[in-house]
Amino acid sequence: MSMRVWWLAFIGGLAALVLIAISIARMYAPPRAVPAETPVASAPVTPKETAHITATLFFGAPDGQSLAPVRRDVPLAETVVDQGRQILTAQLAETPPAPFVSVIPMGTTLRALYVTDKGDAFVDLSAEVVRAHPGGSLNELLTVYAIVNAVAANLPAVRRVQILVDGKEADTIAGHVDLRRPLTRNDSLVRETDEK
Amino acid sequence: MNLNLEREFIHCDAGARMRSCEAVQLRTLAVTILILAFVAGTGGQDLTQATPLTLVSREGRRPIPTTVQAGREVVALDDVASLFRVTVKEDTLAGGVTVSYRGRTIVASANRPMASVDGRVVSLPSPVIRAGNRWLVPIEFLSVALASIYDQRIELRRASRLVVVGDVRLPRVTTNIDFAGPPTRASIDVAPAAAVTVGTEPGRLIVRVDADALDFPSATGGGLVQLIRQGDQPNQIVVTLTDAAGIPRATVTTANNVAHVAIEVPAAATSESKATPNEPRPPDAEPRAPEPVPPVSIVATRNWQTIVIDPGHGGDDVGVRGPKGIEEKQLTLDIARRLRAMIENRLGLRVIMTREDDRALGLDERAAVANNGKANLLISLHVNGSRVPEQSGAEIFHLQLDRESAQVVRVATAEGASLPALGGGVRRLDLIPWDLAQARHLDESSVLASVLQEELQRQVPMSGHPVRQAPMRLLAAANMPAALVEVAYLTNPQQEARLKTDDFKITVAQAVFSAIVRFRAWSEESQTP
């Protein structure tokens, strides 16, 4: 019991100090988005110049009947809103790999994103989301919840998501799904599918 | 033979006295019947069909006398005048006749197979005839011309020799002795399906159909069933049993829009006395007899008035477009029109369409049409689209309220508001937001969705996930049971090809119609205390 014990005590103390320092820093720093429920295993911890988080994006399942969650690296951002923007940009832009199908109308871009203190996010999409939507109840349901889930599942600070189109509140995207109220995430439409 | 007939008619028209004319007509009738019997090969039935037409309305049944002229059945306008309360005036100068009803007029001229209805010319299958002092028109005049100026529906059912006036529910009844037995098995089919109740009386069964009258062509009998005939009430069928019959059992099932009553009559138990028929259920007379006479949907009230059909999309909003360019908005309107005709003709209910033509219409306006029309049901018709071309099959959506909205509704229902009412007392108000009106009907709509699923899957392919609950915009604001039906995938090339066919559209309309009939029976039953 001598050197070894001292060593252990020293390391323990150091660890405690670091933890305290981190938590103090967090209290003063602006809140930062932490991805929710994303499996850590798939994200190799390789220090790069730009840090990444692993976010869950939602593509159309191969059978077109549900949403498939897919993990993707997304640049880490400082604030909730910035992180949300990164995630949505990836969700809107990415062309899904082979078996999956896109549920986002071609050319849809993110115009703006707001998050209220109450945890409501407002996702303002460009008019293409309506103009280029092919229609159909299920199709529309998948488009809406790919976006809602991408925001609500990855940002713990967001509880509900309302989609705006071209800066304005919209009734629907294609005439079926109610967009007048913020929507909570929908897991019943999500089905795990093997990727690749 | 035809030449002969014509000659006789010329003679008859030439102003012969009615009696001799009638004799000619009787002969003609007999000859015609013989020809018909020869052609149809059904003998006896045609004899009964040569009887007068029967007018069926809410007021009851009345005969419409007809005669046969040159192989065409005609009806006298003076009879039409008294039966339909229309005014018939002869215009001797013009050689024509006018029939008017509430300011609207039909003008017809002698020997011309047409009439002018409110200025519009309609053709008739045979000429209008002036015979003696009577004007005779082909029976089709009733449904083609008179119906256009009349304020009620007039439908001519040639096969069953009926003229249906107004919103009369008149299902067709077919009876059959399937097996003489004993036990004797008989069946009664009611189409389109209506709620049927079966009651037992000593020596007979009384089958009551939820309809205004029955289209009951012929009576049958055999085995232990003496006779199945139309009852004293217009919506009643009486099954009379022979003395050797035991206690009958009846089951009612509905499939493909036909209510099927299966009756099984065993022979009377020999050890028991003949007095059993007076006792509806002796304890051990019939060991394999079931419990009570099986459950039947009972509909006494007629509280359903209106159904709203919403043909999805329209105008600039074409909905889904198929690979061959077919647009959802056209299909929904087409199917909706067919469905409307079925409901109006067979159920006699009022149908409101949210749009009658190709026009754009907001979802709020559609919901408002249903709510203002105080509809008992809203069906929104759509055709689906997918990015996966292989995806196919029908899907039904009913409303899912999110947690927040559900909470709003709960609070509103629990708290409500009480207002002083005229004449004392208080009136309770539920302050449910108008655009969440569906909250009151979530359970019923869920039943509606299941019934739609069951009826559709009998007739058309279903998707892998046929019933879904989702925050559908139109359904949320509907203050009545409501569902949205996506009848098929227009993005699937095979389904697009099928969607083009009348056959598919009729099948879909038929399936939705069957679901409406079943849902109505369920709904009215569950509301009856």
Q: What is the ipTM of this complex?
A: 0.74
State whether residue B468 sits within 8 Å of chain A by CB: yes
pLDDT value at residue A41: 42
Cβ within 8 Å of residue A49, ≥6 positions away: none
Question: Which residues in chain A have their CB less than 8 angstroms from residue B487's CB?
Answer: none
Between positions 272 and 301 of B, the ones with CB within 8 A of A are none
Which regions of B210-301 does DSSP assign to beta strands (E)?
A: 220-222, 225-230, 236-241, 249-255, 258-265
B292-306 mean pLDDT: 50
Question: Which residues in chain B have their CB less than 8 angstroms from residue A174's CB?
Answer: 319
**A53-62, B80-89, B496-505, range with the lowest pLDDT:** B80-89
Q: Report the 3 state secondary structure along B146-196.
A: HHHHCCCCEEEECCCCEEEECCCCCCEEEEEEEECCCCEEEEEEEECCCCE
Delimit the CATH 3.40.630.40 region(s) of chain B: 306-527
- Which tops the pLDDT comparison, B347 or A140? A140
pLDDT value at residue B1: 43
Assign 3-state DSSP to chain B and report helix, strand, coil percentages, each to 5.
30, 35, 35
Delimit the CATH 2.60.40.3470 region(s) of chain B: 172-278
| From the candidate CATH numbers 3.30.420.10, 2.60.40.3470, 3.90.1150.10, 3.40.50.720, the one assigned to the domain spanning B172-278 | 2.60.40.3470
Q: How confident is residue B44, by pLDDT bands cut at 50, 70 and 90?
A: very low
**A67-81, A101-115, B131-145, range with the lowest pLDDT:** B131-145
Q: Which of A60, A135, A178 has the CB atom closest to B476's CB atom?
A: A178
Q: How confident is residue A31, by pLDDT bands cut at 50, 70 and 90?
A: very low
State whether residue B261 sits within 8 Å of chain A by CB: no
CB contact under 8 A, B489 and A179: no
Question: Which residues in chain B have their CB less than 8 angstroms from residue A63's CB?
Answer: 388, 391, 464
- Sign of the Cα pseudo-torsion (B196, B200, B204, B206, in order): negative
Question: Which residues in chain A have their CB less than 8 angstroms from residue B438's CB?
Answer: none
B226-241 mean pLDDT: 83
B432-452 mean pLDDT: 87
- Give the distance, in angstroms, between the CA of residue B275 and the centroid of all CA atoms in the same chain: 42
Radius of gyration of chain A (CA): 20
pLDDT value at residue B13: 44
Q: Are B439 and B432 in contact (CB under 8 A)?
A: yes
Q: How confident is residue A153, by pLDDT bands cut at 50, 70 and 90?
A: very high
Residues paired with residue A67 on neighbouring β-strands, in sequence order:
A60, A190
Question: Which residues in chain A have their CB less than 8 angstroms from residue B491's CB?
Answer: 134, 136
Whether residue A82 has pLDDT greater than 70: yes
pLDDT value at residue B31: 53
CB contact under 8 A, A177 and B319: no
Question: Which residues in chain B have their CB less than 8 angstroms from residue A134's CB?
Answer: 320-321, 385, 387, 491
State whether residue B320 sits within 8 Å of chain A by CB: yes
Whether residue B429 has pLDDT greater than 70: no
B63-67 mean pLDDT: 86
Whether residue A2 has pLDDT greater than 50: yes
Whether residue B18 has pLDDT greater than 50: no
B473-490 mean pLDDT: 95
Question: Which residues in chain A have their CB less than 8 angstroms from residue B331's CB?
Answer: none
The tens digit of pLDDT for each residue in B214-228 reads 887 777 888 888 888
A65-71 mean pLDDT: 93
Structural tokens at position B259: 């209510």
Percent over 90 (pLDDT), chain A? 64
CB contact under 8 A, B403 and A184: yes
The tens digit of pLDDT for each residue in B108-154 reads 888 888 888 887 888 888 888 888 788 899 988 998 888 888 888 88
pLDDT value at residue B47: 31
pLDDT value at residue A19: 64
Q: Report the 3 state secondary structure along A29-91.
A: CCCCCCCCCCCCCCCCCCCCCCCEEEEEEEEECCCCCCEEEEEEEEECCCCHHHHHHHHHHHH
Q: Are A124 and A113 in contact (CB under 8 A)?
A: yes
CA distance B63 to chain A (A): 51
CB contact under 8 A, B471 and A183: yes
Q: How confident is residue A102, by pLDDT bands cut at 50, 70 and 90?
A: very high
* For A185, nearest residue in chain B (alpha carbons): B402
Whether residue B234 has pLDDT greater than 90: no
For chain A, what is the mean pLDDT? 83
Mutation pick from B472, B489, B496 vs chain A, by most beta carbons of A within 10 Å, is: B472
Q: How confident is residue B346, by pLDDT bands cut at 50, 70 and 90?
A: confident
B187-199 mean pLDDT: 84
Burial pattern B231-267, b for ≥16 Cβ within 10 A else e, equals beebbbbbbbbbeebbbbbbebebeebbbbbbbbbbe
Whether residue B301 has pLDDT greater than 50: no
* Nearest in space to B524 (alpha carbons), one of B276, B197, B290, B250: B197
pLDDT value at residue B160: 74
pLDDT value at residue B116: 86
**B200-204, B408-412, B517-521, range with the lowest pLDDT:** B408-412
- Which tops the pLDDT comparison, A158 or A42? A158
Whether residue B192 has pLDDT greater than 50: yes
* Nearest in space to A112 (alpha carbons), one of A103, A125, A100: A125
Q: Which of B363, B402, B403 has the CB atom closest to A172's CB atom?
A: B363
Collect all residues from A whose CB is shorter than 8 A from any CB in B.
60, 62-65, 101-103, 134-139, 141, 160, 171-172, 174-184
Of B79-88, B298-307, B374-383, B424-433, which one has max mean pLDDT? B374-383
Question: Which residues in chain A have their CB less than 8 angstroms from residue B312's CB?
Answer: 175
C-alpha B508/C-alpha B506 separation (Å) is 5
B400-418 mean pLDDT: 71
CB contact under 8 A, A135 and B404: no
Structural tokens at position B467: 């019933």
pTM here is 0.54
pLDDT value at residue B395: 96
The tens digit of pLDDT for each residue in B248-260 reads 888 887 777 788 8
- Which tops the pLDDT comparison, B412 or B507? B507
Q: How confident is residue A20, by pLDDT bands cut at 50, 70 and 90?
A: low
Q: In what side-by-side order are the strands of the sheet with B87-91?
A: B87-91, B96-101, B104-109, B114-117, B120-123
State whether residue B327 sits within 8 Å of chain A by CB: no
Q: How confident is residue A77, by pLDDT bands cut at 50, 70 and 90?
A: very high
Percent over 90 (pLDDT), chain B? 31
CB contact under 8 A, A64 and B387: yes
Percent over 70 (pLDDT), chain B? 79
Q: Are A68 and A191 in contact (CB under 8 A)?
A: yes
C-alpha B518/C-alpha B514 separation (Å) is 6
B369-377 mean pLDDT: 92
For chain B, what is the mean pLDDT? 79
pLDDT value at residue B433: 72
CA distance B359 to chain A (A): 14
Q: How confident is residue A122, by pLDDT bands cut at 50, 70 and 90?
A: very high
Q: How confident is residue B309, by pLDDT bands cut at 50, 70 and 90?
A: very high
B265-274 mean pLDDT: 62
B423-448 mean pLDDT: 77
- Which tops the pLDDT comparison, B116 or B413? B116
Residue A117's CB is within 10 A of a number of other CB atoms, namely: 6
pLDDT value at residue B517: 93
CATH number of B306-527: 3.40.630.40
Pairing relation of β-strands B53-57 and B249-255? unpaired
Q: How confident is residue A27, by pLDDT bands cut at 50, 70 and 90?
A: low
Whether residue B104 has pLDDT greater than 70: yes
Whether residue B457 has pLDDT greater than 70: yes
* For B486, nearest residue in chain A (alpha carbons): A137
CA distance A66 to chain B (A): 10
Q: Are B154 and B143 in contact (CB under 8 A)?
A: yes
Whether residue B246 has pLDDT greater than 60: yes
Residue with tokens 């600039």: B316
**Type and span of the H or E element at A6:** helix A3-28
